[in-house]
Amino acid sequence: MNSSIEQPITTPASKPNRASWRDYLALTKLRLSLLVGFSAVLGYLMAASRPYSISQIVLFTVSGLFITGAANAVNQVLEVEFDRLMKRTGSRPLPTGRISKERAILFVAVLLFLGLFIQTLWFNPLTAGISFVSFLLYGFVYTPLKRVGSIAVYVGALPGGLPPLIGWVAVTGTITNEALWLFAVQFIWQFTHFWAVAWVLDDDYAKAGFKLLPLKRPATAQTALVILSFTVWLLPLGAMPFYWGYIGSISACVAVVSALLLLWLNIGLVRKPEIATAKRLMFAAFAYLPVVQIAFVLDRV
């Protein structure tokens, strides 16, 4: 397994005081934060009754973006030396020196405080508590485990699966069976999506010593079979809630058909374990979650 440390791809190019607002925005990994916030809002809408309170939805969205952005920034603070080794991360604000670690940590503290304050004051302490646990798991457990092995993915799937549950709890103040089902869908989806991403980016990850695939490098048909063993669970998770009365027939059909598409692509990866095939699975998995969750919400309303 290639975990050797290579020379940094980039070196600090500018002083921290030259940082722009775009650099601080980059610390939050805005696109990832928006995706996380989107799934949390869909969980909120699943639990909320109509007419929806737009102000409450906006407040919840902002709080989620703050907390998720803080977690993503912590990830970059802890991995700055490793980010310098990878092509896709070498130009980030911390590896290039545009933002110092001290300023990044202060930025994290402000975002985290504001997010938890909003959730505690305008929603309920349980929402803030779960969000804080998610922040800790992602920032301080998942992040260092990435250089240990694929156990990082199992741990990372926990905070990764929590956003819709957090949205549900923000409305109800309780963790119900339906909230746990929403968590389970996103939790299981994490494995298909993330391992497909890890397959595509494995060469770059190897430069920083990240070991994220479920089996030893290089990825093989056996690796694809491990991914398939998780993907298959999306079928019952899409179908059974209809019989439990959580969703209607239309969204159940959308969820089942979407899961079947992922299974078909995953089987294709077993037959042809190549980066191009993994990339198709990665993009399909990326689309699966918003499509299915939007269907759940629309069916509900």
73 domain residue, yes or no: yes
Q: Considering only 182-196, 198-212, 252-266, which range has the smallest mean pLDDT?
A: 198-212
Burial environment of residue 19 by CB neighbours within 10 A (0 to 12, 13 to 18, 19 or more): buried
81 falls within a domain: yes
Peptide bond into 214 cis (omega under 30): no
**238 within some domain:** yes
Res 14 pLDDT > 50: no
Amino acid 50: pLDDT = 81
Residue 283: per-residue pLDDT: 97
**pLDDT tens-digit readout, 17-26:** 577 889 999 9
Residue 10 has what pLDDT?
44
Diameter of the chain measured on Cα atoms: 59
Question: Which pLDDT belongs to residue 98?
Answer: 93
Integer Cα distance of 23 and 16 in angstroms: 10
Contact (CB, 8 A) for 226 and 247: no
Asked if pLDDT for residue 1 goes beyond 50, the answer is: no
The more confidently predicted of residues 211 and 114 is: 114
Q: What is the pTM of this model?
A: 0.91
* pLDDT for position 288: 97
Residues in the chain, overall count? 301
Mean pLDDT over 100-119 rounds to 96
**Range of the structural domain that residue 251 is part of:** 16-300
- The per-residue pLDDT for range 246-270, each reduced to its tens digit, is 999 999 999 999 999 999 999 999 9
The chain-wide mean pLDDT, for the chain, equals 91
pLDDT of residue 17: 52
Residue range 83-87: mean pLDDT, rounded:
87
Q: What integer is the mean pLDDT of 41-60?
A: 94
Across the range 197-217, mean pLDDT stands at: 91
Specify the CATH number for the domain of residue 250.
1.10.357.140
For the chain, give the percent of residues with pLDDT over 90.
Answer: 80
What's the pLDDT at 20? 86
Could you tell me the end-to-end alpha-carbon distance of the chain, in angstroms, rounded to an integer?
Answer: 50
pLDDT at res. 8: 43
Beta strands in 201-297 (DSSP E): none
In a domain, 5, yes or no: no
Q: Is residue 6 domain-resident?
A: no
- Residue 175, in any domain of the structure: yes
Residue 241 lies in a domain: yes
Is the pLDDT at 12 greater than 70, yes or no? no
State the total domains in the chain.
Answer: 1
Tell me the residue type at 112.
Answer: L
- Among residues 175, 154, 176, 185, the alpha carbon closest in space to that of 259 is found at 185
Q: What is the mean pLDDT of residues 77-88?
A: 88
27 has pLDDT over 70: yes
How does pLDDT run across 117-149, given as a tens digit for each residue? Answer: 999 999 999 999 999 999 999 999 999 999 898
